[in-house]
Structure 1
């Protein structure tokens, strides 16, 4: 048989023989295997705030800790998933790749599932409670493959700050609407992850802006799914949800390799070793660049004083002599009332505006993938 016709016959057979791991193009694109030669994430707990995680999936067996549920998932331990999104994120982070299944970035890490939503519903206060719970129950990395358009709330900001004060690395998706970076990715100190395509260029639907910190693959990502959602047990997805999970997995690798490294230095290692993709330096579309797992794990950088994604502390103003003299005097009722009234009105107005802003989940549903064979066309 001539060579070309023979290849035409053989190629479909070769593609049909691909394992799920072989279909995970991002593993080779990011040289994940090089990073895993240094560490596989053992000893690190990653909180996954999502729709729950199917603890019975073969690629996650033994990787999922008992978690909890909030909102409509209250009363559960987070180890079931009727939506599929949370299981997909967990497998991107810590899938074991058994028998050619879905291999995660940090297969030695453990997943702490916090079920905070079903189908398309999230709530700002529920996400805040979820962050606090995961922090208090041992998570050293928290993945937030979710988001809200518009502004955020003081409660969510406080929860993020609480986690950072407890030495947690927070990673969040920028969103998929081609708009500004969503919340909580736009909160200071959070690693906001935008998407790239198979060609290593910015993914067209990724939310971008000045808050973008890193980029990671977001197109045609193959991962695990509960069989109750897709009978094959696998699915393909587009979205910054996957990009966020990839970076969370890399953060777990760094924390496992350097168990005494504070979260602020983990964040610094991730951004300083990223591969510049777009405009030189930090840019709106890819932040500091494409995450580089092997370089981040090997990095030996001097400690930083604070999370490099936080603004520098403001210097305390020196009070004038008149101000000092006034401060030393007892306040009268007339002095206090206007201040109290202004503060109360300002807080009430601010809270009302924040609550009134629209919210939307920034994630995409996975599409089914067969256990063998090539994935369907991305959507």
Structure 2
């Protein structure tokens, strides 16, 4: 990874850090992400941006991070090096204004959390080794757990990945596509599109479904199924990430007892959020929007299919989402290194590694001081799959060479810590169903306390606290003495929904935002009468309540009905 940082005053860091396997030359030229200082007014920022001929936009609803679109040379007239220099100069200029905590490029995040076999019989039935199975359910004692808990639809699990095949017959009953969203695409500027024709010239359509044909703004075909090419890096398999979100969703919440394909660990509600494209990467801004949406929707458990280098923007999103009460799970990474990747390496994320059916560490699984727990994730021998994890999948354009039609509902096989993390997310959905009052910290305590010790006695940097044990986790959640008292971490709103007035219970000043992210009322916590700052009645709808305290990113929803 290339990295250089410029310190300006004590509070400001300008980082030029490639994340994942992306290089600085792959950044979204012309786009900069900035987070203002706590005492910086938007009017100050806007004045500086406009004076430089640039444009600033707010792409998040609640979090105070902005996107600056810089005016840089036309790529048809100058060299790429000239563009890089101009872009760097704009970043350094905004850093020198001392208006921001940090100023960073909008980098692509290239995940290292799944391995994809190039097996010509992928998804087929040619031989015993290609017959789908779910051997991992026995390894984690899921069948015994199901005797006590199979999940609740009220427990929602966000899957931040490459999208989900929402009408897959084994998933459709447990998917909530209404709250889901597709953040991939969007206009990133003519510079980026000119440098990379065919990759970026697309619009986000909001639809997190993976499909080929459909009238949703993409036309035919839909790029969520890929294009059969290795656009980002020719060393990767074409369309390598198309099934990632669908596979994770199937492990977590495929319909059980429907006499079809697979049994999901928890009969919960899956909320698909697409932030990663068919090639397995997404921009920092796309992933940040996905994390913010998960916080706005108040999702219980968030699985994030990402394993990249440390990134200050993603760290902010993870910390903010954790503060809102979500339990966040991420893979340790599949590069076989002795340090974990991120966001799994952050304190507010459960870091999951992979083990084999023989209870050894998978050769590809990253290890390190942040490993919390392991779950089955398959194995490689000499670079080839030796043990597979199976789940639901969806065929890509590249899969036409194997006899599939793009968008076809299929069975998927692969190996990786991303699949291990999905298994942990499914068991956490069972734990939360058994005791919805558990906080995110208590969920972590439950699964690590009940893990089966493997490899080395006690905690070790390869398996953490051991192998996930679904049965023990669910049973411990049932023990009355272990039930925690609900922590006073949420913003209480009573009544909700309300008609005339409601009471907002949390210390200090709060901001009330409409669903578009516009601040409509600032007030001391207490009785809100449904009026805006000018004393006018606000229309019926969903409003978001957030404390106006630096570092406090809790968000609560309230419904005004008139």
Give the TM-score, by structure 2 length.
0.49
Q: How far has the Cα of 1:36 moved from its partner?
A: 1.6
- Residues 264 and 304, structure 1, Cα contact 8 Å, conserved in 2: no
Distance across 2 between alignment mates of 1:132 and 1:293: 29
1:129-149 superposed Cα distances (whole Å, 9 cap, x missing partner): 21121121131000012210x
Distance across 2 between alignment mates of 1:132 and 1:283: 33
1:281-316 superposed Cα distances (whole Å, 9 cap, x missing partner): 22110111111111111114364999xxxxxxxxxx
Cross-structure match for 2:369: 210
Match of 2:291 among 131, 134, 157: 131
Residue 163 (structure 1) aligned with residue 276 (structure 2):
no
Match of 2:134 among 15, 24, 29: 24
1:226-264 superposed Cα distances (whole Å, 9 cap, x missing partner): 145555710211000100000000111100110122222
1:125-175 superposed Cα distances (whole Å, 9 cap, x missing partner): 322221121121131000012210x3221x222211211111110000001
Distance across 1 between alignment mates of 2:320 and 2:341: 20
- Residues 168 and 409, structure 2, Cα contact 8 Å, conserved in 1: no
Cross-structure match for 2:169: 58
Distance across 1 between alignment mates of 2:158 and 2:325: 13
Q: How far has the Cα of 1:39 moved from its partner?
A: 1.5
- Residues 19 and 100, structure 1, Cα contact 8 Å, conserved in 2: no
Distance across 1 between alignment mates of 2:254 and 2:156: 14
Distance across 2 between alignment mates of 1:253 and 1:79: 25
**1:273-352 pair list within 5 angstroms:** 273-299=450-476, 300=479, 301=482, 303=484
Residue 116 (structure 1) aligned with residue 275 (structure 2):
yes
Cross-structure match for 2:149: 39
Identify if the C-alpha distance between structure 1 residues 302 and 139 changes in structure 2 by more than 3 Å, giving closer, same or farther: closer
Cross-structure match for 2:547: none
* SS of the residue 1:244 aligns to: helix
**Which one has the bigger helix percentage?**
1
* SS of the residue 1:192 aligns to: strand
Distance across 2 between alignment mates of 1:287 and 1:131: 26
What is the CA RMSD across the aligned residues, in angstroms? Answer: 2.2
Bigger mean CA deviation after superposition, 120-129 or 50-59: 120-129
Distance across 1 between alignment mates of 2:270 and 2:141: 23
Match of 2:305 among 119, 122, 145: 145
Q: How far has the Cα of 1:31 moved from its partner?
A: 1.4
* SS of the residue 2:282 aligns to: coil
1:188-247 superposed Cα distances (whole Å, 9 cap, x missing partner): 121100000121111111011001111000001110111455557102110001000000
Distance across 1 between alignment mates of 2:298 and 2:486: 24
**Runs of 4+ with deviation above 6 angstroms:** none
* SS of the residue 1:225 aligns to: strand
Cross-structure match for 1:328: none
Q: How far has the Cα of 1:37 moved from its partner?
A: 1.8
Match of 1:199 among 358, 363, 368: 358
Cross-structure match for 1:181: 340
- Residues 64 and 79, structure 1, Cα contact 8 Å, conserved in 2: no
1:321-353 superposed Cα distances (whole Å, 9 cap, x missing partner): xxxxxxxxxxxxxxxxxxxxxxxxxxxxxxxxx
* SS of the residue 1:296 aligns to: helix
**Which one has the bigger strand percentage?**
2
1:1-33 superposed Cα distances (whole Å, 9 cap, x missing partner): xxxxxxxxxxxx9x87x984xx11001111111
* SS of the residue 1:161 aligns to: helix
Distance across 2 between alignment mates of 1:288 and 1:266: 14
1:34-79 superposed Cα distances (whole Å, 9 cap, x missing partner): 1122112212110000000001111101211120011327322212
Match of 1:255 among 416, 432, 440: 432
Match of 1:71 among 181, 184, 188: 184
> Which ranges of structure 1 fall in alignment gaps of 5 or more residues?
1-12, 307-379
* SS of the residue 2:151 aligns to: coil
> Which ranges of structure 2 fall in alignment gaps of 5 or more residues?
1-124, 186-202, 211-223, 226-241, 379-387, 488-562
